[in-house]
Structure 1
Amino acid sequence: MSRPHFDPAAYPAQLADKTARLRDLLAPFDAPEPEVFDSPREHYRLRAEFRLWRESGSEKRDYAMFEPGDKFTPVLIDNFPIASRRINELMPRLKAGWQASAALSFKLFQVEFLTTLAGDALITLAYHRPLDAAWQADAERLAAELDVSLVGRSRGQRIVIGRDYVEEELEVAGRRFRYRQPEGAFTQPNGAVCQKMLGWAYEVLGERSDDLLELYCGNGNFTLPLATRVRKVLATEISKTSVNAALANLADNGVENVTLVRLSAEELTEALNEVRPFRRLAGIDLKSYAFGSVFVDPPRAGMDPDTCELTRRFERILYISCNPETLAQNIAQLHDTHRVVRCALFDQFPYTHHMESGVLLERR
């Protein structure tokens, strides 16, 4: 993990620069002024990954990060102010735990923390050697001492102590939604901003009497609150881990108007265009849906041209993006039929150039 340059005093100017950048990218499309949702200045990041550094001739291991572009000069750290308070509380206790155990420290090379606003925590320890019974016994004692779930990973091995997910709670429009967030799967790193992002999407979609198509639904992060705004939802996701988490989240929250299928956005485009049938859509009558809106939250590459063309069919396109450049490219493809009526900046990644943004496009 690269080391960010943490400087709370510079944060307002950095956020202003990001706002200007988004404004400039969306200016060709006559977009309104971006709504800006800032981040806590510190302790905002709910997950963190550290390499461990061992000096030659020493058995002591330290948390290490690296400057961007330099993988050979470690910056040794004892705390990480952008990470959640729970991660900072766990860091020295975990370090003391592995230093006190030869079974835990031997060939340990990486540590990952996953925490939640609700206070849950999971730690993953990665090794360059097989994990044995001695490792498991010491790992179970440490997990109980730290009150965390713990996952041990090595080539061909994955040992879970406790659960392989954390539990989160996020509030949207006065309702609390519970989420399982699996180890190794994508989750939004900035919980406070994620909550603002969900609230914005909920508001701009509005109360609707028709149906919603959701592409790239992940673990159901947006699916849960948006499903309460429409008649029913058809949601797609390709990752099996995320699909399983989304199904559990729908059940845990009593959301019953969502049908989830494990298809990529490209495959669903082919299905809706009747290019070819898919066994995973057996029993789902696509023609029974009265889609009025589509929600997309694609990877950094944005939507491929065919999927982007598919979204043109809908009256409303609600688009969350982690890459404003590919967002602008997709809007350019849609600009002749849809106009930007709302846009927002969500500062998920303070002290970096990255930003999350959202737009609502409506048919002209």
Structure 2
Amino acid sequence: MFCESFLECGGCQISQEYTIQFEKKLHTFLELFHIKDQDVEKFLSPASGFRARAEFRLHTENDKIYLSMNAYGKNHRVKIISCPIILPHLQDKLKILLTIINKNPIIRYKLYGVRVLGGISGETIITLIYHKKLDQDLQKTLAKLTQKLQCSIIGRSKGEKITIGKDFINEILCIDKQEFFYIQQEGRFSQPNPYINIQMIQFVLSKLPLNIKSDLLEMYCGSGNFTIPLSKRFRKVFATEVVKSAIKTLEQNAQKNQIHNITCARLSGAETIEALNRERDFFRLREINLNEFNFSHILLDPPRSGINDANMLTFIQKFDVIIYISCNPLSLKEDLKILQKTHKIEHCGIFDQFPYTHHLECGLILKKF
């Protein structure tokens, strides 16, 4: 992939040919975990046009506005002519948007940043971030912009939001020869690389029997990225997440996919343990009978810090099968010091969610001795 901003723009840190950089990441991973190459399944991203969301600031030069990003390793911004890592239809819409911004003083005035969210379904949201009050003139102008760009437009300022169209996209992922439908909310977390996301979900599904008679506990479930397809394999799923809006979106996603065996609750990781250990009663669980669940599997997709909690790791060790999705191999290694006292790694996959960076995602299936 060619990008004229390599090693100037801070969005990417590696300019080598894609397969070479992936091999270096793989080598680092194998050394960190002392795993043989043949014991790891590798999942590569497309080399370009893979990223479904991005955020840019603006750069003015000779009275012309460009997109900009923080400079690599420096405290200033550099202008961006193009960004070949984002989905092609997002690249196309940004080119049109910049042309319009440079011709339209109402859109341009005090415009601070631009966010894009798209999916392989083709839907797009463009968010314009302002340092000014969002008035009627701007709203009318953005309504016309929506027609020109054929996508939803959101205007944001401090304490204000106007939406022309929708504040979410409908994404369709084909997983395990079946289509799954997802709502992805603007401003909320969603998987940045849909191609790798599909491979992560398929990796997990490929390691599970078709009809498991017991139940799955999923912690850090978000809006149901894994929950929805995995629910097809289990009798029941209990999914917990601390972010209230994510739980609401999960419920919508379950409804869109006509799935009825998912029970979700707004609980932190610590609260989930307290509830399932019957250490504390929660009013928000008053309509959920936890005694109806017979858990055999647990799925975890924690933040970069990992689990990093002795009490929680001890709780996780109770399950026959642990499915651990990690976006930070270093924190995963620390958690494995505890988990491998009771469980053995049965399957390992690495997923290059973020090409041209040093980040690497991995998935482990661990089974109790």
Q: TM-score, normalised by structure 2?
A: 0.94
**Secondary structure of 2:278's aligned partner:** coil
- Residue 310 (structure 1) aligns with: 315
Partner of 1:43: 49
Aligned-partner Cα distance in 2 for 1:96–1:27: 52
In the alignment, what sits opposite 1:255? 259
Deviation of residue 201 (structure 1)?
1.0
Q: Which residue of 2 aligns with 1:52?
A: 58
How far is 1:355 from its partner? 0.7
Equivalent residue of 1:205, what SS?
A: coil
Q: Which amino acid aligns with 1:47?
A: R
Cα distance in 2 for partners of 1:146, 1:81 equals 19
Name which of 229, 232, 237 aligns with 2:233: 229
Find the counterpart in structure 1 of residue 269 from structure 2: 265
- Supply the distance in 1 between the matched residues of 2:75 and 2:155 (Cα, whole angstroms): 24
- For structure 2, list consecutive stretches of 5 or more residues without a partner in the other structure: 1-8
Could you tell me how far apart the structure 1 residues matched to 2:22 and 2:326 are?
17
Residue correspondence of structure 1 range 1-364 to structure 2 within 5 A: 2-5=10-13, 7=15, 10-27=17-34, 33-55=39-61, 59-72=63-76, 74-207=77-210, 208-305=212-309, 306-364=311-369
Q: Quote the Cα distance in structure 2 between the aligned partners of 1:49 and 1:79.
A: 13
Instruction: Say if 1:344 and 1:358, in contact at 8 Å, map to a contact too.
Output: yes
1:275 and 1:60 map into 2 onto residues whose CA distance is 61
* 1:205-226 superposed Cα distances (whole Å, 9 cap, x missing partner): 3331100000011111101110
Q: Is the 8 A contact 1:23 1:33 kept in 2?
A: no
Q: Aligned AA for 1:356?
A: E
Task: Report the number of matched residues.
Answer: 359
Higher relative contact order (CA closer than 8 Å, sequence separation 6+): 1
Instruction: Tell me how far apart the structure 2 counterparts of residues 186 and 296 of structure 1 sit (CA, whole Å).
Output: 16
**Residues 189-239 of structure 1, C-alpha deviation per residue, up to 9 Å, x if partnerless?**
111111111101111133311000000111111011100000000001111
Measured after TM superposition, the shift of residue 19 of structure 1 is: 1.4
Tell me the amino acid that sits aligned with residue 252 of structure 2. A
Matched to 1:148, the amino acid is: C
Q: Which moved more, 1:235-244 or 1:104-113?
A: 235-244
Partner Cα separation in structure 2 for residue 202 and residue 144 of structure 1: 40
Deviations 1:144-190 (A, max 9, x none): 11011111110110111111011111111110001010001111111
Contact 1:323 1:354 in 2 (8 A): yes
Shifted more, 38-47 versus 277-286: the winner is 277-286
Equivalent position SS for 2:156? strand
Displacement after TM superposition at 1:32 (Å): 6.9
Letter in 2 for 1:91: L
Does the residue aligned with 1:150 lie in a helix, a strand or coil?
strand
C-alpha contact 2:43 2:350 (8 A) present in aligned 1? yes
**Structure 1 residues 19 and 167: CA distance shift in structure 2, 3 A:** same
Provide the alpha-carbon RMSD of the alignment: 1.6
Offset, 1:67 = 2.5
Q: Which structure 1 residue ranges, 4+ long, deviate > 3 Å from structure 2?
A: none
Name the aligned partner's letter for residue 81 of structure 1.
P
Q: Contact 2:221 / 2:240 at 8 angstroms: preserved in 1? A: yes
Q: 1:20, CA displacement in angstroms?
A: 1.8
Give distance in 1, aligned partners of 2:265 and 2:344.
30
Q: Report the residue type matching 1:348 in the other structure.
A: Q
- State the percentage of identical aligned residues: 36
Shift of 1:81: 0.8
Write out per-residue CA displacement over residues 294-317 of structure 1, whole angstroms, 9 at most, x where no aligned residue: 001011111142222211110000
Q: CA deviation at 1:357?
A: 0.3
